[in-house]
Amino acid sequence: METGNVLLASSGANVGRVQTGKNPTLICVPIMAESVEKMVVDMNKAKASGADLVEIRLDCLNGFSPREDLQALITHSPMPTLFTYRPKWEGGQYDGDENERLDVLQLAMELGADYIDVELQVAREFYSSINGKKPEKCKVIVSSHNYQSTPSVEALGNLVAKIQATGADIVKIATTASDITDVARIFQITVHSQVPIIGLVMGERGLISRVLCAKFGGFLTFGTLESGIVSAPGQPTINDLLTLYNFSQLGPDTKVFGIIGKPVGHSKSPILYNEAFKSVGFNGVYVHLLVDDVAKFLQTYSSCDFAGFSCTIPHKEAAVKCCDEVDPVAKSIGAVNCIIRRQSDGKLFGYNTDYVGAISAIEDGLRGKHNISSSGSSPLAGKLFVVIGAGGAGKALAYGAKEKGARVVIANRTYDRARELADTIGADALSLSDLDNFRPEDGMILANTTSIGMQPKVDETPVSKNALRNYSLVFDAVYTPKITRLLREAKESGATTVSGLEMFIGQAYEQFERFTGLPAPKELFRRTMSKY
């Protein structure tokens, strides 16, 4: 079964953890310093951060003297130790004699290591060299790393059997994700494993394997002390695992939510929703989902455990076709930014909460400017409303503005797409390059719905500062950074500005309620986002 449902079942029991949360999955911090002294400092940091054990990467040490260094590391470690002496041929730094390397692992075992990691390729030799003399307390992890791809479920199953056959106490498989759907195969193997198993998928597309292994019964996951200093691609920090993802509280019944996008790493949605889930005691986790093909993603993760998704650039329009039912408003906009999986039958429902979030933020901005009360007609009625971009968010704003009685103009890099959208909703169209000279009247409203000006290209703007003088309000859907170049220049030109953060918070209220069935903690949302 290549893709399809990620099914749940109980998995191999964990060895030696005092259970504090809902899952027995351990958090291991890789220690990769170049000296024993620095390693001891890092081990204490790991302990203070809430780690369960440390992986000591002996191949990172400069000038290693086995007996005395191992003794020092084991004696001074404040927590259980896993020793790894990774050779170059398996992605590590050790480039010396193989027998000497295996002798060091054997010595670590004799001196009191809690775990050692031996590569599958040399596991048989290692076991025959120790001659059955393994201390009771030490567990052997036999590992296999694939830096190219993630094999089929069948091939992974065979690999597990091969690792088990060596006599391993714990199976470790690390593969590489070329697509986020690859991770489903590792979840399947993890969930059905009868032995303790570490199944992780490297790379940004594999990030969910490192978080959701707690739901699917993985033996351990890795969390780094600092971001960017990783022992394998895609590792999160221990701080993110524990505070952002609430890792120790994840269990088999935890519902999975996430943001589908490409790129997606910049999104603040996981911070917002996980904080809110925690505050109301909702058993859910919200993750970044770097998705290339939204249809393939939704087909692969089709179990009810994957309960709902936010959808962002560039998938909002494609998502419409993937839903079993689409809300009439989302259908007329032609874009979905919220997908809910009905728990009774697994059917997918698509909604658009973008336009409510954005339009109400713009209306509030106009009311504040003119001190208008919020009752009565919309302050957008009769205004000329220029939308930059004809994608999912552009459609949502154009539709919303039109509905409030505004006269709408669509400006887009490719004129044909602007024309197409304009014809659909009864608006005018412009090429983005003509926008600088478009000044039919004063007091217009401008809304940028493209990613122009988003990190990392923060010095870009869709329209020249000179052209901004004719607008009374400028809105930018980009919220990383909070104040884009467009908003900064609009403010300098005298316009009221509304940041994408307002739209982001507004559209999140409705999504939260659809995800959880609970009222959105609006104050908490504002407090959480005010920190960023």
Q: Which tens digit of pLDDT belongs to each residue from 279-328?
A: 999 999 999 999 999 999 999 999 999 999 999 989 999 999 999 999 99
DSSP labels, 212-258: HHHHHT-SEEE-BSSTT--SSTTPPBHHIIIIIS-GGG--TT-EEEE
Q: Is 354 a catalytic residue?
A: yes
Q: Is 128 inside a domain boundary?
A: yes
Domain boundary among 214, 229, 251: 251
Q: In what order do the strands lie in the sheet with 81-84?
A: 197-202, 170-176, 139-145, 115-119, 81-84, 53-57, 26-31, 220-222
Mean pLDDT, residues 206-220 taken together: 98
Q: Is 145 a catalytic residue?
A: yes
Q: Is 516 inside a domain boundary?
A: no
Domain boundary among 197, 225, 251: 251
Q: Is 507 inside a domain boundary?
A: no
For residues 377 and 361, membership in a common domain is answered with yes
pLDDT digits (tens, 9 = 90+) for 110-160: 999 999 999 999 999 999 999 888 999 999 999 999 999 999 999 999 999
CA distance 263 to 167: 42
| Number of compact structural domains in the chain | 3
Quote the Cα angle for 182-186-187, to 5°: 110
Q: What is the mean pLDDT of the chain?
A: 93
Considering only CA atoms, which of 207, 232, 223, 251 is closest in space to residue 23?
Answer: 251
Beta pairing class for 26-31 and 53-57: parallel
Q: In the structure, what pLDDT confidence band is assigned to residue 8 with cuts at 50, 70 and 90? A: very low
User: What separation, in Å, do the N-terminal and C-terminal C-alpha atoms of the chain show?
Assistant: 43
Residue 20 tokens, joined: 């504090």
Q: Is 172 a catalytic residue?
A: yes
For residues 185 and 59, membership in a common domain is answered with yes
Domain boundary among 251, 279, 304: 251
Rg of the chain in Å (alpha carbons):
27
Q: How many residues belong to the chain?
A: 532
- Assign residue 176 the CATH number of its domain: 3.20.20.70
Domain span holding position 296: 253-351+521-531
Catalytic residue among 114, 182, 354, 476: 354
Q: Is 321 inside a domain boundary?
A: yes
For residues 243 and 102, membership in a common domain is answered with yes
For residues 347 and 380, membership in a common domain is answered with no
Helix (H, G, I), strand (E, B) or coil at 155: helix
For residues 94 and 239, membership in a common domain is answered with yes
For residues 140 and 47, membership in a common domain is answered with yes
Q: What is the pLDDT of residue 101?
A: 97
Mean pLDDT, residues 59-85 taken together: 97
For residues 403 and 273, membership in a common domain is answered with no
Q: Is 425 inside a domain boundary?
A: yes
Catalytic residue among 22, 139, 172, 395: 172
Looking at residue 164, its amino acid is: Q
For residues 244 and 339, membership in a common domain is answered with no
Catalytic residue among 316, 383, 395, 404: 316
Q: Is 503 inside a domain boundary?
A: no
Q: Is 445 inside a domain boundary?
A: yes
* Helix or strand (DSSP H, E) at 278: helix 269-280
For residues 388 and 489, membership in a common domain is answered with yes
Beta pairing class for 139-145 and 170-176: parallel
Phi-psi region of 498 (alpha: psi -120 to 50; beta: other; left: phi over 0): beta
Contacts of 319 (CB under 8 A, 6+ apart): 260, 294, 311, 335, 336, 337, 339, 350
* Helix or strand (DSSP H, E) at 199: strand 197-202
- Assign residue 286 the CATH number of its domain: 3.40.50.10860
pLDDT digits (tens, 9 = 90+) for 92-123: 999 999 999 999 999 999 999 999 999 999 99
Q: What is the DSSP letter of 13?
A: P
Catalytic residue among 22, 139, 145, 395: 145
Considering only CA atoms, which of 531, 458, 448 is closest in space to residue 272?
Answer: 531
- Assign residue 454 the CATH number of its domain: 3.40.50.720
Residue 258 tokens, joined: 């996430």
pLDDT for residue 372 is more than 80: no
Q: Is 10 inside a domain boundary?
A: no
Mean pLDDT, residues 231-249 taken together: 95
Q: In the structure, what pLDDT confidence band is assigned to residue 21 with cuts at 50, 70 and 90? A: low
For residues 216 and 285, membership in a common domain is answered with no
Quote the Cα angle for 522-405-353, to 5°: 30
CA distance 327 to 109: 61
Report yes or no on whether pTM surpasses 0.85: yes
Q: Is 404 a catalytic residue?
A: no
For residues 234 and 257, membership in a common domain is answered with no
For residues 299 and 405, membership in a common domain is answered with no
Quote the Cα angle for 459-311-413, to 5°: 45
